Amino acid sequence: MPPFCEICTRALSTLKSLYIKLMNPGRHKIYHHSVFVFALILAVIGLFNLYSATFVFEAGQASPYFAAQLFYTLLGVVVMFAVSRLSLKHLYVWSPLFYAASLLLLVLVLMVGARMHGSLSWLDLGFVRLQPAEFGKVGLVLILSRYLSQLPSEKDLNLKTIIAPLILFLLPAALVIMQNDLGSSLFYGFIFGTVVFVHGVRLRLVFVVVVLLCLAGLLSYEFALKPYQKDRIVSFLNPEHDHRGSGYHLVQSKIAVGSGKIFGRGYLKGQSHRLKFLPERHTDFVFPVLLEEWGFAGGALTLLLYFLFLVSGINIAAKSETRFGYFIAVGCVGLFFWHLVINLGGVLGLIPLTGVTLPFFSYGGSSLLANWLAIGCLLSAARR
Amino acid sequence: MSLYHEEDMIDLKKKVPFIVMGIMGLIIVLAARLFYFQVMQGDYYKSLATEIFVREEEIVARRGNITDRHGKIIAVTRPYFEIVMIPQYISDRDRVVKNLCRVLALEESAVLKKLDEARYEPRFMPVVIAADVDYERVAKIKEYLSPDYTEGGSLDFSGVAVRHIPVRKYLYPEVFAHALGYLTEIDKTSFKQAKLSHPDLFSLGDLTGAAGVEKAYDLWLKGKDGVLGRVVNARGREVEATEDLKVLKQQATEMPRRGNILKTTLDFNAQMTAHTLFEGKKGAVVAIDPRNGEVLVLYSSPGYDPNRITKNIDRDYWRKINLDEEKFLFNRAIQAMYPPASTYKIVGMAAGVDLGLIDTEKTFFSCGGGLKFGNRFFKCWKGGGHGRVDPLKGLAQSCDVFFYRLGLKLGVDRLAQYARLFGFASKTGIEIPYEQAGLIPTSEWKEKRFKQKWFESETLSVAIGQSYDLTTPLQNAVAASLVANGGYRVTPHLGLEILSPDGELVEKIKTEKTRTQLSGSAALAFVKKGMIEVVHGVGTATKLKNNPHKIAGKTGTAQVVSHGSKGIKGQSREAHALFIAFAPYDDPQIAVAVIVEHGRGGSATAAPIAGAVIDAYFDQKLKAAKQVTNLTVTRLNASILRDMHPRSVDFEIPIH
């Protein structure tokens, strides 16, 4: 049908010109597009997967989760475009402000936050519920990038220069621990470690910091952690110990993943999640749904896409002309990478379950927005 | 601005390949893990997802034991096994039935008939093949069902399962039947109510108390059912559990919580005595501790065997006890309403003295064997008459004429008012269900009921506890308690303590005692004096004079008027014998009410039973007390000896 084709062609060219306008390609190189494109592909796969994971079979329709996720994805893309138009200078100037704002939100959560699943990590604004810990991650990347870019090059971090970034990291981490969000606070450590390592740090210092952190961790395990958090750790170290909690989740996850075999059961045909065996199947355990329905083939393809997405991000760092831009790119890539590793490692039984979401796949407005915000920063770092 | 360090980028850019390699490395680890689960272990997990089921079986909680006041167990929970077949899982029906019958020595045709009868039921519903199977046969079947047995051929037992259900066992069925009650499957309406108040405690098909303390203390006794997770294959056969399956199994399993022990206020010896003496008779005995309302005896004859109607119901027996005119299920102690007859005279006397209508010293009436009122002649029970009757003699000898005259002075309404103080005409508030309130007439009541004025002649019959007056044996015992304790109305109760399954005290049942207008009054003291006169003076129950416990009492003989003939003397049968009593007179610890249907005179049949029950109660008490004293003495000796030789290691403590 010629008129239809014509409409399609016209729509495509309109989109193209809009995209060119938004991305300002005159000032970007081609690898910058790939970050956005891979992110978009992952987001679309994630949306399809979430639709299946939350599909209500009794009613024969999608759950409200899907619509909300779609809305936040679109909102996130808008945020990404907006941030990508900022110059690095803007980011550099505003990063302390953003960091301070995220700290303030974390404090606010402690004071007036809403409780959910045992952790106090939600800020109810009436029309929307925010999870400040997610934005804090981006804030930490920005402030650490700024600090490290000011240090002289060719010089590893020493006892004096590591104090400031350590404090910058410990502040939000402590606030998040106080919200009982163990997963996120560990995550802050991963971001801190990534950026500091990439900058370079004396090995002896690493040893000291790791020992100190382990000690703090051990002490907090004894005195500060809630029983369910202890359970999660113990259940990972010794699956026999815990009969009713996380060990059970893990077995259900393993059965779902394994029963997908090579090509999977087919879209919307997963058994475990439909029968509600899989716990938290729209957040922590969203990836086993994909693995069950698409099998090893689908899983490996998704991992490949993730790898390409991450490498495109690293490419931005490699081509960066400023240290600030470099750290931003590495930090943002680290953000996605550690999310992927910790979430998948958890649901596949490699590491303890920590409740870390999988970007583009897990349901959650705040984490989606934070992710697209990070991609916006990446794209901004690619500008010259 | 320090933002631009273009010349300083070399060190950072050198690191890029390492970062990429790091990313690649960890992603490959994840991919390898996927490969392991999905490709290498895929078949195993697929089989777990599609061929293995976690079947949840209910573990019925053990109902708590019931004991008497000294801890003697009177109801327990015993194991009960059923062999069932689940049609869904049966591979070859004829073969399985053949195998089953060979092992259990059952009739094949009978088993097939049972399966046939259930053919319209859902296929997952177990069909009971053999009920109440003994351990030996259960063990045999279990062996064949164990996971290491290969299926097929002469060993094919697919679809066969053993169900274990704890079942109530009443150790002294006829004796305690009416006090304890029995269990029945919960009906739909009470299930809905129970679901609302205790959402996770009840499920359909549960056995629940239907009467007696089983009903009153059902929630305490019940416990909480658990769930047993079983990993089974598509044929319902349990499979060897792998590490992963063990987790699933444990997730599905929840241990049941045993029910609490109910320690009742009942006294085993006294109750047993009542039962023995009621052999072949109908009637009831209630004994209460007048100090606190603890029910020591609650016996109704004839009893029944609750074991036969609780699980595996004996249909013929059920029909018999439900429909027979002996009314086996009828708890005469709280449900039967009898005319109180002369035992009711304590009410009239208390009212008369309290209102000052008679003087205990000066007032007297003369009895010539009856009283002419209007154109009717009201007889005294003693044809020859009592002659000059003062109040004490009136009560002791139960002179009808005395109470006719007193009744006329009082009037029906004032009499009823005092009867209420004694606890008549309203439920006593005992915790077990189906209690009756009885009836004490007033002029207002008659107006309402018959649209008729009260005739004064009717007051005469009412004053001696006949005509409209109806009370339950429990009410009589409460009234006797009120006299015994000096005017306090106790709320009788059967629960003493709730103990945890391990025997620790969980809750003490509260006792209730209400002050009445008669508390500490001279009128009541006089009634009490009259009641000792009945036994120890020139009274109607001097038979009990030699009882060591100084019993005070009051006899009664209730004329039986057949129902439906509205007060006209119809086919009257032998009169009911009544007796109320308390003992010891100086420090009352037990108040008893006895009624023997068609037992003729109260003193002839009812009083001896009361005496024996009181004896049995104090005997048991004495024994229990002796035991405690002996024990204390032994311990005391031992501790003294130990104190004397604190360092001697080889010292032997003599065992008494």
Q: Are B332 and B283 in contact (CB under 8 A)?
A: yes
Q: Which residues pair with B373 in a beta bridge?
A: B376
Across the interface, do B23 and A299 touch by the CB < 8 Å criterion? Answer: no
3-state helix, strand, coil in chain A (%, to 5): 70, 5, 25
Mean pLDDT along residues B611-621: 90
Q: Are A292 and B80 in contact (CB under 8 A)?
A: no
Mean pLDDT along residues A104-121: 75
Chain A positions touching B43 (Cβ under 8 A) are: 261
Picking from A261, A323, A330, the nearest residue to B5 by CB comes out as A323
Lowest mean pLDDT among A80-89, A158-167, A212-221, B131-140: A212-221
Interatomic CA distance for residues B360 and B351, integer angstroms? 12
pLDDT greater than 50 at residue B651: no
Q: Between β-strands B127-130 and B160-170, what pairing exists: parallel, antiparallel or unpaired?
A: unpaired
Picking from B23, B33, B35, the nearest residue to A310 by CB comes out as B23
A331 touches chain B (CB under 8 A): no
The CATH superfamily assigned to B54-171+224-257 is: Penicillin-binding protein 2a (Domain 2) (3.90.1310.10)
Interatomic CA distance for residues A22 and A85, integer angstroms? 8
Across the interface, do B48 and A291 touch by the CB < 8 Å criterion? Answer: no
**Closest-CA distance of chain B to residue A1, Å:** 44
Across the interface, do A154 and B48 touch by the CB < 8 Å criterion? Answer: no
A335 touches chain B (CB under 8 A): no
CB pairs under 8 A between A and B: 153
Q: Under CATH, which architecture does the B272-619 domain have?
A: 3-Layer(aba) Sandwich (3.40)
Chain B positions touching A93 (Cβ under 8 A) are: none
pLDDT band for position A55 (50/70/90)?
A: confident
A178 assigned to some structural domain: yes
E strand residue ranges, chain A: 114-116, 119-124, 129-130
pLDDT greater than 70 at residue A223: yes
Across the interface, do A255 and B24 touch by the CB < 8 Å criterion? Answer: no
The DSSP-derived string for B323-354 is HSTT-TT--HHHH--B--GGGGHHHHHHHHHH
Q: Are B389 and B366 in contact (CB under 8 A)?
A: yes
Closest residue on chain B to A146 (Cα)? B3
A311 touches chain B (CB under 8 A): yes
Across the interface, do B30 and A344 touch by the CB < 8 Å criterion? Answer: yes
Across the interface, do B12 and A299 touch by the CB < 8 Å criterion? Answer: no
A92 touches chain B (CB under 8 A): yes
pLDDT, tens only, A319-341: 888 889 999 999 999 999 999 99
Query: What are the domain boundaries of chain B?
Result: 54-171+224-257, 272-619
**Closest-CA distance of chain B to residue A182, Å:** 22
Q: Are A331 and A194 in contact (CB under 8 A)?
A: yes
Across the interface, do B37 and A348 touch by the CB < 8 Å criterion? Answer: yes
**Closest-CA distance of chain A to residue B195, Å:** 25
pLDDT, tens only, B368-382: 888 998 888 999 998
Across the interface, do A254 and B43 touch by the CB < 8 Å criterion? Answer: no
High-pLDDT (> 70) share of chain A, % = 82
Across the interface, do A258 and B2 touch by the CB < 8 Å criterion? Answer: no
| pLDDT on residue A308 | 93
Q: Are B613 and B553 in contact (CB under 8 A)?
A: no
| pLDDT on residue B150 | 65
Closest residue on chain A to B37 (Cα)? A258
| pLDDT on residue A129 | 73
Cβ contacts of residue B648 below 8 Å, gap of 6+?
none
Chain B positions touching A256 (Cβ under 8 A) are: 49
Interatomic CA distance for residues B244 and A62, integer angstroms? 31
Interatomic CA distance for residues B479 and B581, integer angstroms? 10
| pLDDT on residue B603 | 80
Across the interface, do B16 and A337 touch by the CB < 8 Å criterion? Answer: no
**Closest-CA distance of chain B to residue A63, Å:** 25
Which of B12, B231, B249 to mutate: most A Cβ within 10 Å? B12
Across the interface, do B9 and A326 touch by the CB < 8 Å criterion? Answer: yes
Domain that holds residue A326: 30-382
- The residue with tokens 């693995």 is A291
- DSSP secondary structure code for residue A157 in this structure: B
pLDDT, tens only, B278-320: 988 999 999 999 999 999 999 998 999 999 988 778 888 988 8
| pLDDT on residue B5 | 52
Across the interface, do A322 and B31 touch by the CB < 8 Å criterion? Answer: no
Q: Give the residue numbers in B contacting A (CB under 8 Å), as ranges.
A: 1-6, 8-9, 11-13, 15-16, 19-20, 23-24, 26-27, 29-31, 33-35, 37-39, 41-46, 48-50, 243-244, 246-248, 250-251, 253
Across the interface, do B247 and A248 touch by the CB < 8 Å criterion? Answer: yes
Across the interface, do B34 and A307 touch by the CB < 8 Å criterion? Answer: no
B594 vs B162, more confident: B594
Which of A194, A250, A255, A274 to mutate: most B Cβ within 10 Å? A255
Across the interface, do A296 and B39 touch by the CB < 8 Å criterion? Answer: yes
Across the interface, do A296 and B24 touch by the CB < 8 Å criterion? Answer: no
Lowest mean pLDDT among B192-196, B232-236, B391-395: B232-236
pLDDT greater than 50 at residue B646: no
Split into its structural domains, chain A has a count of 1
| pLDDT on residue B1 | 44
Picking from B24, B35, B247, the nearest residue to A239 by CB comes out as B247
Whether the upstream peptide bond of residue B79 has omega within 30° of 0, thus cis, is no
Q: Are B164 and B79 in contact (CB under 8 A)?
A: yes
Q: Are B600 and B577 in contact (CB under 8 A)?
A: yes
φ, ψ of residue B512 to 5 degrees: the values are -130, 140
In angstroms, what CA-CA distances link B407 with A143, A250, B352, B455, B524?
Answer: 102, 85, 9, 13, 17
| pLDDT on residue B567 | 40
Chain B positions touching A322 (Cβ under 8 A) are: 3-6, 9
- The residue with tokens 């800020």 is A123
pLDDT band for position B352 (50/70/90)?
A: very high
What does the angle CA B289 – CA B293 – CA B295 come to, to the nearest 5 degrees? 70
Chain B positions touching A307 (Cβ under 8 A) are: 23-24, 27
| pLDDT on residue B201 | 83
Mean pLDDT along residues B221-233: 86
| pLDDT on residue A155 | 76
- DSSP secondary structure code for residue B546 in this structure: G
pLDDT, tens only, B152-185: 667 788 888 888 888 899 999 999 999 999 998 8
Q: What is the mean pLDDT of chain B?
A: 86
Q: What is the ipTM of this complex?
A: 0.86
Chain A positions touching B44 (Cβ under 8 A) are: 258
| pLDDT on residue A235 | 57
Across the interface, do B244 and A254 touch by the CB < 8 Å criterion? Answer: yes
Could you tell me which of B406, B398, B353 has the C-alpha nearest to residue B580? B398
Chain A positions touching B6 (Cβ under 8 A) are: 321-322
Q: What is the mean pLDDT of chain A?
A: 82
Across the interface, do A348 and B33 touch by the CB < 8 Å criterion? Answer: yes
Across the interface, do A243 and B12 touch by the CB < 8 Å criterion? Answer: no
pLDDT greater than 80 at residue A134: yes
Interatomic CA distance for residues A190 and A95, integer angstroms? 20
| pLDDT on residue B192 | 86
| Other C-beta atoms lying within 10 Å of the C-beta of residue B231 | 21
pLDDT, tens only, B101-155: 888 888 888 888 888 888 888 887 888 888 888 888 888 888 888 776 666 667 7
pLDDT greater than 50 at residue B632: no
Across the interface, do B250 and A154 touch by the CB < 8 Å criterion? Answer: no
Chain B positions touching A250 (Cβ under 8 A) are: 247
Lowest mean pLDDT among A47-61, B153-167, B415-429, B579-593: A47-61
Interatomic CA distance for residues B618 and A268, integer angstroms? 77
Closest residue on chain A to B15 (Cα)? A198
A170 touches chain B (CB under 8 A): no
| pLDDT on residue A383 | 78
Closest residue on chain B to A319 (Cα)? B13
pLDDT greater than 70 at residue A357: yes
